[in-house]
Amino acid sequence: MRTAIYPGSFDPVTLGHWDLIQRATKLVDRLVVAVLHNPAKTSAFSVEDRVAMLKELVAPLPQVEVTSFHGLLVDFAKSQNAVVIVRGVRAFSDFEYEFQMALMNRKLAPDLETVFLMPKEKYSAVSSRFVREIGSMGGNLAELVPETLRERISARLAKG
């Protein structure tokens, strides 16, 4: 049973994240989507809300679980018996940070591999940051977030 962790802030989940989740499920037996509890970062959506939205989204995929975690990713990965960390790389600009994080995680846990996946090209400019900005100004989030969550995300962001 090969388990992978797909960690992130998911503030909120985008179509790029969803694309990546579907790609990752083809590679492993079990995928744990893990939302970081990060008290140092202010977020638009509570961790509970982010987990709930992800759970709703992955409901049709029985091999995917959604949870949140505190602390080091490598410790959480170990607790889940994961052998792989999955991260998305949209463009070259993502690469430097992702590369450094992967090497640092490798120092901390040499047996845990980081695997980068590319989302569909049409999602290469989609990010949670842009979703938050566009949503808070009343812009249309079609093509940016999953259809089933769009109203909920728009309403929350419009409230400020």
11/64 with CB nearer ligand PNS: 11
- For residue 124, the surrounding DSSP H or E stretch is none
Given 90, 132, 154, 156, the catalytic residue: 90
Q: Please identify, using beta-carbon distances, which residue of 112 and 149 lies nearer to ligand PNS.
A: 112
Residue pair 122/104 in contact by the 8 Å Cβ criterion: no
In the residue annotation, 128 being an active-site residue is answered as yes
Q: Give 7 or 12: the residue with its C-beta nearer to ligand PNS.
A: 7
Residue 37 is among the residues annotated as catalytic for this protein: no
Active site residue 79: no
Give all strands (DSSP E) within 57-151, no chain letters.
64-69, 84-88, 113-117
Single-letter residue type at 36? L
Least Å from the CB of residue 73 to ligand PNS: 4
156 labelled catalytic: no
Minimum distance from residue 17 beta carbon to ligand PNS (Å) = 9
Binding site for ligand PNS (CB under 6 A): 7-9, 36, 72-73, 101, 104-105
Distance (Å, rounded) from C-alpha 15 to C-alpha 122? 10
Kindly give, in sequence order, each residue whose CB lies less than 8 Å from that of residue 157, ignoring residues fewer than 6 positions away. Answer: 44, 131, 132, 135, 136
Q: What residues are labeled active site?
A: 17, 41, 90, 128
